[in-house]
């Protein structure tokens, strides 16, 4: 990793699951450097208004490294780069395209910023060939100004997810949208449920819910430790609303090893159904032609 100048969010964000995931052969690659232009109050990644320019070789280095690792599913994420015209969407797009060129069967999930609400940038990435377009809403609407950088926002995030799905569908692609909520910041159960409704209205497919843990004393304090029983209740409510997959538990994070297996199984099932439907349509066409 160091030789190729690649970063992992596991280290930069001080993820509590780093030991489990790394021992299981999973890491989430962080593109566009290790310095964020935003200063969200929950995040341990370092910030600066003018980070170093992106490494132009990073898309190729990332694709080469991952293609040789012998894995079938990779998560790519990044810092926010408001200093770039497209927020880094083009950099992501090139990385995905190179990955798919090197290994067409690779499943690629991109956990990205809101690109400052630029839907053209969203569409460029959503139609790049990726399989999962992930962007985190992070918290309920009321708490957004206290938790996230002022340049982020609840509606902006919801519309980003909606725009990604619409762009993919318009381009004839199957893309799954995914988001995550941190709990324990002072949200009410009613607010969590309302957020679920808002996400389903934007046709979001996958939801993860995890406990917020304070990375350092300089970050937001934990207001509440949500019980396992409440996490289970949230999971059942989310599944009842129609999310395709829900992961809910204290140590669940948006890019978490356990979720990959369920995501892959869901994609495999959808591909098998699509193939069967196509085969049935073909047989019907032949039958009609013979009549």
CA-based end-to-end distance of the chain: 62
Which among 63-72, 134-143, 260-269 has the top mean pLDDT? 134-143
Q: How many CB atoms lie within 10 A of CB 57?
A: 11
Helices (H), the chain: 9-12, 18-23, 58-67, 89-102, 119-126, 144-147, 154-170, 189-201, 228-241, 257-290
Mean pLDDT of 185-205: 98
pLDDT, residue 282, reads 65
pLDDT, residue 18, reads 42
Structure tokens belonging to residue 96: 């995905």
pLDDT, residue 287, reads 59
pLDDT band, residue 256 (cuts 50/70/90): low
pLDDT band, residue 279 (cuts 50/70/90): confident
Q: What residues form DSSP beta bridges with 245?
A: 206
Q: At what angle do helices 189-201 and 228-241 cross, to 10 degrees?
A: 30
pLDDT band, residue 60 (cuts 50/70/90): very high
pLDDT, residue 289, reads 60
pLDDT, residue 255, reads 62
Cα distance between residue 178 and residue 133, in whole Å: 6
pLDDT, residue 143, reads 98
Q: What residues form DSSP beta bridges with 75?
A: 28, 109
What is the average pLDDT value for the chain, to the nearest integer? 88
Structure tokens belonging to residue 168: 């993919």
pLDDT, residue 2, reads 46
Cα distance between residue 151 and residue 38, in whole Å: 8
Widest CA span in the chain: 76
Cα distance between residue 17 and residue 12, in whole Å: 13
Mean pLDDT of 156-164: 98
**SS3 label, residue 146:** helix
- Strands 28-31, 7-8: pairing kind: antiparallel
Length of the chain counted residue by residue = 291
pLDDT, residue 72, reads 84
Q: How many CB atoms lie within 10 A of CB 3?
A: 7
**SS3 label, residue 142:** helix
DSSP state of 47: B
Cα distance between residue 266 and residue 283, in whole Å: 26
């Amino acid at each position: 990793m160091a030789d190729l100048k690649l970063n992992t969010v596991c280290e930069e964000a001080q993820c509590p699951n780093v030991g489990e995931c790394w021992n299981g052969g999973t890491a989430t690659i962080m593109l566009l450097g290790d310095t964020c232009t935003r200063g969200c109050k929950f995040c341990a990644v370092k910030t600066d208004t003018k980070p170093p320019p992106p490494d132009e070789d990073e898309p190729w280095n990332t694709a080469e490294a991952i293609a040789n690792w012998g894995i079938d599913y990779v998560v790519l994420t990044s810092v926010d780069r408001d200093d770039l015209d497209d927020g880094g969407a083009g950099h992501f797009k090139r990385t995905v395209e190179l990955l798919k060129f090197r290994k067409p069967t690779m499943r690629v999930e991109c956990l990205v910023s809101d690109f400052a609400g630029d839907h053209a940038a969203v569409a460029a990435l959503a139609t790049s060939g990726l399989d999962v377009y992930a962007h985190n809403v992070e918290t309920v609407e009321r708490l957004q100004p206290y938790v996230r950088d002022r340049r982020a926002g609840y509606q902006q995030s919801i519309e980003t997810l909606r725009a990604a799905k619409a762009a993919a569908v318009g381009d004839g692609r199957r893309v799954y949208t995914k988001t995550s909520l941190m709990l324990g910041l002072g949200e009410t159960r009613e607010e969590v449920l309302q957020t679920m409704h808002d996400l389903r209205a934007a046709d979001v497919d996958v939801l993860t819910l995890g406990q917020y843990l304070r990375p350092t004393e300089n970050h937001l304090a934990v207001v509440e430790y949500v019980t396992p029983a409440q996490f289970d209740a949230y999971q059942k409510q989310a599944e009842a609303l129609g999310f395709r997959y829900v992961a809910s538990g204290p140590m669940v994070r948006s890019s978490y090893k356990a979720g990959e297996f369920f995501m892959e199984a869901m994609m495999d099932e959808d591909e098998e159904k699509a193939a069967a439907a196509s085969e049935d349509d073909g047989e019907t066409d032949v039958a009609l032609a013979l009549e």
